[in-house]
Amino acid sequence: MFQSKANFCLSAIAFALSLPTFAEVSQSEQQAISDYLQRFQLNPKKTMDEIPVKTGIAPYAVKSVPKFSQQAIQSRSFVESKNAVRSQLLNGGQKPGVLRDAIARENDDPARLVDAGDWLIRNVNQMDRRHLTSAKLNKQPWSDTYWPFYNGSISYRYGDPKVGSNNPKTWKDYWNYANTLSPVSSYLSSLKTDLLSPAEKYDLLVNDGSFSLTRAGWQSGEEYVDSSGNVEGWMGICQGWAAAAYMLPRPKHAVTVTSPTGQAIKFYPSDLKALGTKLWARTDRPSDRFIGGRCDIKDPAKDQNGRVTDRNCFDTNPGTWHQAVVNQIGVSKRSFVIDATYDYEVWNQPVLGYSYTYFNPQTGRAYRTAREAMIARANYSSDKFTTHRSNTAVNIVGVRMELSYIRETEPSHAETDGPNNDAIMKVSYMYDLELDARGNITGGEWYTNLHPDFLWTPPRTERAITSPNPTDRWNTRDPLPAHWTSLAVDASRNRSQPLTAVVEQLFKLSSQ
């Protein structure tokens, strides 16, 4: 009898040791979940439209991104504006095509996004056993501005204090200062080339007397001025920055290189980020991976609980979202880009990390493991989404995820750059997961309509390549080889892009 009891105790201890250990849920976290669910049960329609709570970590001055006008927000016309840009990204810079759009709408499989592919973890219990309820990238994507069109994009002389003294307000104001009041020649004669824009420095480096890349920067906004009379503040190349921020190494310090004419040109980390952002702003990369919906409707239909019922506007399913985040950040250890159409304050941001807590959607009680928090679907009597549940759902478990992503910062003439200079934003999302009997994720429901709907990333080994691109090496102690300069000028003139080889070599030099 005693021996049997001892064996039982040893077995119980061995079993306990095989389970993951989790810290208790904090009181503040439990309170946040309880408060939200209480509001949700009392008025789900109103709660579904709440803006998720965000907190910023920004040791340095963060750029206040020009938001959409109040009229655009109230009329929700910003949805159409963003979709026009996103459609261009999806279709390789061409007009919207049926094939790529159809893929975006139908694609709700996390395996299409994450590096793990078909090997991704789809089971919540396995995620718990591998301690994947929180993760953060070891290599942090870097902050940068989105190089807006209204001030010239990468042709903007951000480091020249005289630009601001003229109190520019429109694209024409910035253009007039750079091209009429203070032409490039005045900086060359006064040996103040460090005050020039990233594009102007690049044109000098590649000996482009026509300043083709600089002109391309101004033309980005000029076409909007010609067509509508102004350039909206949100327009820029954030999609280029979001990808470059983790596809290119961080430029750690300023570098000085010599032009073919013998001119010493200093590139600050912000200058290099601008060139990398411009390079990765190319939209003809068919290998980029996308998942999620693309809703063209400003005010999609909703049911009595506030849930979006339009199939094309439901966006990424919470089950897909959860698997994508956990597998890409927690397992593959690489970033991806979120695009939240419904939330005008978030658009094309590289993800840094996440942390989540489970909760029982019926009681609101928070737990650290899914096994503790899940409730049988048959027992979930207060389910607001019961008519939308999948037939494969046996259990339901709630999730409150806090996502960290990198935000934009102002460009500067700082000599060095590091993770402490980045701006980080944290935002919380509420949703539940539908599980089969084994704990495999089969679907889920959002508890808020303001959530990331569209996720994308270049493959791990992808390069943004201008063609043709030199394959030999540039000794950065010397001026660029003649055949490099000719290829660089051609890329600027014909594709409005910096040459891949030049940009990557500058990044390599700066990141060492």
106-156: per-residue pLDDT in tens? 468 899 999 987 789 999 999 999 999 999 999 999 999 999 999 999 999
Decide: pTM greater than 0.85.
yes
Three-state DSSP class for 54? strand
User: 360 in a domain, yes or no?
Assistant: yes
| Between 316 and 500, residue with greater pLDDT | 500
Question: How many structural domains comprise the chain?
Answer: 2
Q: Percentage of the chain surpassing pLDDT 90?
A: 67
User: 154 in a domain, yes or no?
Assistant: yes
Could you give the CA distance from residue 326 to residue 116 in angstroms, rounded to a whole number? 11
CB atoms within 10 A of CB 29: 17
Note the pLDDT of residue 320. Answer: 94
| Between 220 and 88, residue with greater pLDDT | 220
> Does residue 64 carry a pLDDT above 60?
no
Mean pLDDT of 310-337: 90
Could you give the CA distance from residue 486 to residue 480 in angstroms, rounded to a whole number? 10
> Does residue 10 carry a pLDDT above 60?
no
Could you give the CA distance from residue 206 to residue 502 in angstroms, rounded to a whole number? 9
User: 382 in a domain, yes or no?
Assistant: yes
User: 1 in a domain, yes or no?
Assistant: no
Mean pLDDT of 229-257: 94
> Does residue 9 carry a pLDDT above 50?
no
Judgement on whether residues 382 and 318 belong to the same structural domain of the protein: yes
Judgement on whether residues 131 and 164 belong to the same structural domain of the protein: no
Could you give the CA distance from residue 283 to residue 289 in angstroms, rounded to a whole number? 12
- Read off the tokens for 63: 């750029």
Residues whose CB falls within 8 Å of the CB of residue 272, separated by 6 or more in sequence, listed in order: 198, 251, 255, 503, 506, 507, 510
**Last residue of a domain, which of 422, 440, 457?**
457
Place of tokens 């990233």: 198
Q: Concatenate the DSSP letters of all residues of 163-194 into one string.
A: HHHT---SHHHHHHIIIIIS-HHHHHHTT-GG
Categorize the per-residue pLDDT at 11 as very low, low, confident or very high, splitting at 50, 70 and 90: very low
Helix axes 269-280, 500-511, angle to 10 degrees: 140
Note the pLDDT of residue 414. Answer: 96
Judgement on whether residues 373 and 271 belong to the same structural domain of the protein: no
pLDDT 10s digits, 66-104: 567 777 777 777 777 777 666 665 555 443 333 233 333
Judgement on whether residues 406 and 267 belong to the same structural domain of the protein: no
| Between 19 and 238, residue with greater pLDDT | 238
User: 472 in a domain, yes or no?
Assistant: yes
Residues 332 and 307: beta-carbon distance below 8 Å: no
Judgement on whether residues 134 and 153 belong to the same structural domain of the protein: no
* Phi, psi at 213, each rounded to 5°: -70, -35
Note the pLDDT of residue 23. Answer: 58
Residues 378 and 427: beta-carbon distance below 8 Å: no
Asked if residue 468 has a cis previous peptide bond (ω within 30° of 0), the answer is yes
Residues 366 and 25: beta-carbon distance below 8 Å: yes
Note the pLDDT of residue 14. Answer: 36
* Phi, psi at 40, each rounded to 5°: -65, -40
End-to-end, the C-alpha distance of the chain in Å comes to: 68
Note the pLDDT of residue 70. Answer: 74
Note the pLDDT of residue 80. Answer: 72
**The three-state (H, E, C) secondary structure of 231-291, written as one string:** CCCCCCCHHHHHHHHHHCCCCCECEEEECCCCCEEEECHHHHHHHHHHHHCCCCCCCCEEE
Judgement on whether residues 64 and 136 belong to the same structural domain of the protein: yes
Mean pLDDT of 368-397: 95
Could you give the CA distance from residue 331 to residue 320 in angstroms, rounded to a whole number? 15
Categorize the per-residue pLDDT at 59 as very low, low, confident or very high, splitting at 50, 70 and 90: low
Judgement on whether residues 62 and 200 belong to the same structural domain of the protein: no
Note the pLDDT of residue 96. Answer: 37
Mean pLDDT, the chain, integer? 86
Judgement on whether residues 306 and 446 belong to the same structural domain of the protein: yes
Judgement on whether residues 307 and 260 belong to the same structural domain of the protein: no
User: 100 in a domain, yes or no?
Assistant: no
Instruction: Name the residue type at position 421.
Output: N
Q: Which domain holds residue 337?
A: 47-74+108-144+302-457
Judgement on whether residues 324 and 448 belong to the same structural domain of the protein: yes
Note the pLDDT of residue 234. Answer: 85
Judgement on whether residues 130 and 263 belong to the same structural domain of the protein: no
Q: Which of 111-120, 139-148, 239-248, 268-277 has the lowest mean pLDDT?
A: 111-120
User: 339 in a domain, yes or no?
Assistant: yes
**Last residue of a domain, which of 440, 457, 474?**
457
Angle (nearest 5°) at CA 407 between 220 and 91: 45
User: Of 54, 144, 153, whose CA–CA distance to 407 is shortest?
Assistant: 144
Judgement on whether residues 483 and 410 belong to the same structural domain of the protein: no
User: 90 in a domain, yes or no?
Assistant: no
Radius of gyration for the chain, computed over Cα atoms and rounded to the nearest angstrom: 26
